[in-house]
Amino acid sequence: MTLHNLAGQTLGQYELREILGIGGMGVAYRGYQRNLERDVAIKILFPGLAAEAGYLERFYREAKTAAALEHAHIVPVYDYGVQDTISYVVMRLLTGGTLEDRLMSRAEQNKPLPSLGEASSLMKQLASALDYAHNRGVIHRDIKPSNIMFDDQGIAYIVDFGIAKLVESSTSYTSSGSPIGTPMYMPPEQWRSETLRPAADQYALAVTLYQMLTGRLPFEATTPYGLLHKHLNEDPTPPQSFRADLPYQVQDVLERAMKKDAADRWESVTAFAQAFDTAIRGQTGELSGFFDGPVTRKKTATFGPGSLVSFNTNSPLVTITKAPPAYKQPVFWVMGGLLLIALVVVLVLLLTQGDNQTPRSTIAPEMLRSTVVAELGLTQTAQVNGGQTAEAAVALALTGTADAWTPTPTLNFAATETRQAVFDRESTADSFATSTQESVLYTTALAGATSTQDALLIMAGATADARATATQQARFAAATATQEINNQTATVDAQIAATQQAIQQTATADFEGTETQVAAATAAQQELLIMAEATANARATASAAPPDL
């Protein structure tokens, strides 16, 4: 059976952080519950169980039964679930270690065993928890030192209720012919695969108490078959053989709790604990501190590819492999590369959009003129300032001189043709939504102005364009954007030249022979060229400045 080290993985809202211990039925992890921000203990059962028919139904049934047990000395079950082939139970994290940890630490450091009074106090806690579960029809089936844990104040808890029964119903375990449980603590009826009753937990607890008092087991053998024979046929070794100060009444209490026939044992676990407390009365001894303070956790296994761990004498060998961290897996780098490419593409598109943003006038020339007239309270035919028309008053308000509004009739024909051409070109240019499109519109409008008045209005609109914030973004490929801008710029240059030539020819034909008229046409032409250059400069400045979004 192969079991991966899942440290670093996530099960729902739980993060598996480190292995706490390994047993014959699964692996316990220190976990973290993200939504409540607390540390928890997570028991992962062997993944092979989930593949069996009916397993999920059994798992949820036993998990609900365990979660319903609410007792001061039964570890609370917070949650349980199945993800893929992994079934898990989430419990309160106990930081005081197990009874097995304390027994091993005592042996390694040559510390004293617990006093009889301390052992009796522990027995009362455990007996109340077991009888509470038994009265609700729940038998633990695997009482042993590793399933007795402590919090940081030395209070005892029984863990793993229901798990032994769940595994016991697994065909992969029962078909092997080995009974479910831990051989050193199993009662004879469990060895014989008989129906278990509450007295089975009493037997296992008596073996645990015997080990806690003497540091040894009542039945010892080098093979499971040797243990089987002793549990079925022999009496336990007298505890005084390992600890001479024990009262002989303690031996009697222990022997009854370990009777071969379950019916001959104490009527309840509480009765067993009370009999033990009576047997040591007056000989409780001095406090040893066995259950106080932190305990060095025993090393249950070393992990790495190919390492083998035997959980107990009847458990299969399990290969523990540690999954490589995410950053060492090829898929991590592939996904990272794709993400980087996507970010670069998005950045290029954003930069391209910023370059292609062009200010668009929000005030048409006609609207600007109408607004000024309205502000002056005039009409187009009103006479003001000694016979001055409304047009002249508007021009004076905008430019300081009424002469700037003098009509130039000779440009009307060229303006009409130019406007039609501009209309035709706008239908095509609108699809690109580029800065060159705006250049075409402004330049053509200047060329087709019917009077100096119109030129002034267009120049005012261009000034407003320079101040407008870009709100429309053009999205097109950066590879073709430059070519399109160059083509549109060349078209604009050609249109400017053609319009200027038409103006010059028209002005020369209409005003030829009159020096004053020629001078006026030349001045108008120069003014248009100056305004065209000013507009181009304004466009260049607006394009160079970053959009004020």
Q: What are the percentages of helix, strand and coil residues in the chain, rounded to 5?
A: 55, 10, 35
Contacts of 380 (CB under 8 A, 6+ apart): 373, 389, 390, 391
The residue written with tokens 């009854």 in the block is 256
Decide: 290 and 150 in contact? Cβ < 8 Å: no
3-state SS assignment for residue 187: coil
Check residue 28 and give left, alpha or beta (phi > 0: left; psi -120 to 50: alpha). beta
Helix (H) or strand (E) holding 148: strand 148-150
Question: What is the distance between the alpha carbons of residues 46 and 55, in angstroms, rounded to a whole number?
Answer: 12
- Report the candidate in 218, 125, 275, 279 with the shortest Cα–Cα distance to residue 267: 275
Q: Which sequence positions are flagged as catalytic?
A: 142
CA distance to 64, 211, 263, per residue, from 236 (Å): 37, 12, 18
User: Which token pair is 537?
Assistant: 């400069």
3-state SS assignment for residue 256: helix
Decide: 27 and 16 in contact? Cβ < 8 Å: no
DSSP output for 333-357: HHHHHHHHHHHHHHHHHHHHHHHT-
User: Which token pair is 277?
Assistant: 């407390």
CA distance to 230, 379, 419, 429, 448, per residue, from 422 (Å): 109, 30, 5, 10, 9
Q: Which residues pair with 91 in a beta bridge?
A: 41, 77
Query: Per-residue b/e over 356-392, b at no fewer than 16 CB within 10 Å?
Result: bbbbebeeebeebbeebbeeeebeeeeeeeeeebbbb
CA distance to 33, 215, 237, 265, per residue, from 234 (Å): 48, 20, 9, 16
- Report the candidate in 156, 121, 153, 155 with the shortest Cα–Cα distance to residue 284: 121
